[in-house]
Amino acid sequence: MEAKSYLRQCSRADGMLTLKDQRSTAAKFSLSMHKVEALALELGILPLRHQRNQHTLSLKQQRKLFESHVAIIGCGGLGGHVAEILTRIGTGRLSLFDFDHFEEHNLNRQNFSTLASLGKNKVTVVKEALEQINPSVRIEGFVHRFNPLSDMSMISNCTVVIDALDNPEIKVQLAKACKTKNKSFVHGAIAGMHGQFSTNNTLEKLYPEGGRGAELYSGNPAFTVTLAASILAAETVKSILGIGEVLENSFMVTDLLHNEFETLPL
Amino acid sequence: MENAIEVTVKLFAQYREGHFKAEPRVYPKGTTVEGVIIETGIPVEQFPIGVIMINGRHMDESYVIEHGDTVSLFPKVGGG
């Protein structure tokens, strides 16, 4: 019996595929979990893990998301959380970049920073943790300081590039490189209880000069980081699916101190 | 004051702490955004300027404000 027929037999009356059956299909036909999910979605069978994504996402949209490839540049505060959200929602492929390792001062906010992961490369830790959450996602990890001036070929297959960097100068370079390469680009930055977001725009107007911003004094508390990661993930999913409105030709500032979200022209 | 103009100054993020969200303010004619920044006393050493908007358009510190302008000041936000 071929894998597709087997999957049809396995799928429940409600058109869902359990993790157990996904695993058994993978084992029986020597396929990766990624390949089994691709076949299932092609057949209109939805892995049960995505049940609560319905009907915010249709099966067709779930499939489109699964066929997408997102690069996350930086796996610190923003990157670690956005990587988890995109893994849980069913993005098919992720490329993670970060040169750094976990340190004690990351524990206040960075996803997957634990006592056990201190001293370990962020990318390696995040990749392993994501594979525990959803083994169907193909994850490539690069322990590498991404340089937008020379490394764009490393993300040539990516649909969307997420700016989870902490350096305004590199953020500007990355935005520019994505514009040149015609890639969707999702920008986010935080400082204290405040965030800033923009999609598919270059960033010169937000960063007229290099150098660090307000975060140097105000730091990055956990609730700002997780809110920002949620906005980045939502902008990414909307970009991939072509739904709703993204922050094109505009930027949004968030202020958790005064409960304000404001979108302004860019 | 004949040479005075009134503008609305809007402050965002860290600039609001100890200052205000939005206020009408009076300046001498010929005042630049840089002059507004100095007069408000917002801590630009601690929180460098990111975005300056005049009536919703991006401008720089050298812009000479006009009566009725809305001057919005945002600190640079760069953390990840």
In chain A, where the domains are located: 3-62, 68-265
Average pLDDT over residues B45-53: 97
Q: Per-residue pLDDT tens for A180-206? A: 999 999 999 999 999 999 999 999 999
Cβ distance of A194 and B53 shorter than 8 Å: no
- Using a CB-CB cut-off of 8 Å, the residues of chain A touching B76 are 168, 206-207, 209, 211-214
Q: Per-residue pLDDT tens for B58-79? A: 999 999 999 999 999 999 999 9
At A210 the pLDDT is 86
At A45 the pLDDT is 98
- pLDDT higher than threshold 70 for residue A238: yes
Share of chain A above pLDDT 90, in %: 99
Average pLDDT of every residue of chain A: 97
Q: Which residues of A12-51 are buried (b: 16+ CB within 10 A; e: fewer)?
A: eeeebbeeebbeebbeebebebbbbbbbbbebebbbbbbe
Domains of chain B, CATH where assigned: 4-75 (3.10.20.30)
Residue with tokens 């507004």: B36
Kindly state the tokens that stand for B20. Answer: 């205000």
At B40 the pLDDT is 98
Distances (CA, A) of A51 to A12, A13, A48, A56, A249: 12, 14, 5, 10, 34
Taking the domain A68-265, which CATH number applies? 3.40.50.720
Interface A:B, Cβ pairs < 8 A: 106
A144 touches B at CB < 8 Å: no
Cβ distance of B77 and A258 shorter than 8 Å: no
Q: Which residues of A86-99 are buried (b: 16+ CB within 10 A; e: fewer)?
A: bbbbbbbbbbbbbe
- pLDDT higher than threshold 70 for residue A221: yes
- Using a CB-CB cut-off of 8 Å, the residues of chain B touching A175 are none
- Residue A45 carries which side chain, given as an amino acid letter? I
- Give the distance from residue A208's alpha carbon to the nearest chain B alpha carbon, in angstroms: 7
Average pLDDT over residues A222-238: 98
Taking a C-beta distance cutoff of 8 angstroms, is the pair A3, A31 a contact? Answer: yes
Helices vs strands, H then E, count in chain A: 9, 10
3-state helix, strand, coil split of chain A in percent (to 5) is: 40, 20, 40
Share of chain A above pLDDT 70, in %: 100
Q: What is the sign, positive or negative, of the torsion defined by CA atoms of A129, A134, A135, A139?
A: negative
At A43 the pLDDT is 98
CA distance A94 to A85: 12
At B1 the pLDDT is 62
Cβ distance of A253 and B48 shorter than 8 Å: no
Strand partners, A189: A196
At A194 the pLDDT is 98
